[in-house]
Amino acid sequence: MKRAPTPPRGSLPTAAPFIAHPRAARGVATATWIGHSTVLLQAGGLNILTDPMWSERASPVQWAGPRRIMPPPVALEALPPLDVVLLSHSHYDHFDKTTVKRLARLHPEATWVVPLKLGAYVRGFGARVIVELDWWQRADVHGMTVSPTPARHFSARRFRDRNRTLWCGFALEVAGRRFYFAGDTAYHPEFASIGQRYGPFDLVMMPIGAYDPRWFMHIVHVNPEEAVQAYVDVTLAHPDAPPPYMLGIHWGTFRLTDEPMDEPPARTRAVWQGRGLSDDRLWVARFGETRSL
């Protein structure tokens, strides 16, 4: 399959974010998609950020490597005071050294929750408060329950460190709200167990992009069909609960793979409708869009 043309910079849909400063009221829950796998959750009076990435390139250097198609819709310095930062794994498009160092300076009291063996890297970039966990473990962080969840992926950052650190998703519970951030993952058999243990969820943040060529990417990234199936899996154990929103993440920000960059949301919508799922529960966000949950 030939790689599709890269769209012009800044050409995908955007929205003005609606972010409460310094915090939203405890009874309010919102999510803002910053781009790629970066989501700002404001829930239970906390500000929670997933896989922060603000650099121009997803690369160990800024003169080469995948470059942004869409700029961040929120300046890093404009973020509200962060309480928790979640890191799913060590890849450059999810764990960016420059971003981590800037956040560590701007939000020195934030707690960084990371999978096993990633703590030393984060500490080396300036983070002070670090909670390092294995799959299925639980921790209480600022009154929020955090549990790393299984993912099918891998890790690599430095020469000869492949799979030396763990990768994960996260299940969160705060002020009666439950969130699932799937991280970076291929399809795997544990989605139903995640839903059974930690659901029912109010919001599922599921990757939908970076999946072609399939012969290579199927072992590390879901495609839209698998993303929707994973969503269905995490809801199976709670059929009487209102279905959660699914926010599609991990698309449109960096050119990482061969599929057209606007294909993941359209294909996800088609699969969603084909499965007979509620149209109002699929959230394909514009860059910067905020939704109240």
205 domain-assigned: yes
From CA 91, how far away is CA 162, in angstroms rounded? Answer: 10
pLDDT score of 131: 98
Classify residue 274 by burial, with Cβ atoms within 10 Å: 0-12, 13-18, 19+. exposed
246 domain-assigned: yes
Q: Which of 65-74, 135-144, 271-280 has the lowest mean pLDDT?
A: 65-74
Counting the structural domains of the chain, the total is 1
N- to C-terminal Cα distance for the chain?
A: 39
Rounded mean pLDDT of 219-232?
Answer: 97
110 domain-assigned: yes
- Asked whether the predicted pLDDT for residue 158 surpasses 80, the reply is no
149 domain-assigned: yes
pLDDT score of 157: 81
Mean pLDDT taken over the chain: 95
- pLDDT tens for residues 235-266? 999 999 999 999 999 999 999 999 999 999 99
241, 204 in Cβ contact below 8 A? Answer: no
Q: Which residues contact 234 (CB under 8 A, 6 or more apart)?
A: 180, 191, 192, 194, 195, 199, 201, 204, 244
* Residue of 176, 139, 151 whose CA lies nearest to 37: 151
Please state whether beta strands 29-35 and 38-43 pair in parallel, antiparallel, or not at all (unpaired): antiparallel
11 domain-assigned: no
From CA 120, how far away is CA 205, in angstroms rounded? Answer: 27
Domain range for 237? 29-292
Structure tokens at 156: 């690599």
- Asked whether the predicted pLDDT for residue 1 surpasses 70, the reply is no
pLDDT score of 226: 98
> Would you say the pTM of this structure is higher than 0.85?
yes
- Asked whether the predicted pLDDT for residue 99 surpasses 80, the reply is yes
Structure tokens at 183: 């991280």
Q: What is the CATH number of the domain that holds 230?
A: 3.60.15.10
pLDDT score of 23: 97
8 domain-assigned: no
pLDDT score of 164: 87
147, 167 in Cβ contact below 8 A? Answer: no
21 domain-assigned: no
17 domain-assigned: no
- Asked whether the predicted pLDDT for residue 228 surpasses 90, the reply is yes
Helical spans, DSSP H, in the chain: 97-106, 119-124, 191-198, 214-217, 224-235, 263-274
Helical spans, DSSP H, in 139-262: 191-198, 214-217, 224-235
- pLDDT tens for residues 78-98? 999 999 999 999 999 999 999
pLDDT band at 66 (very low <50, low <70, confident <90, very high): confident
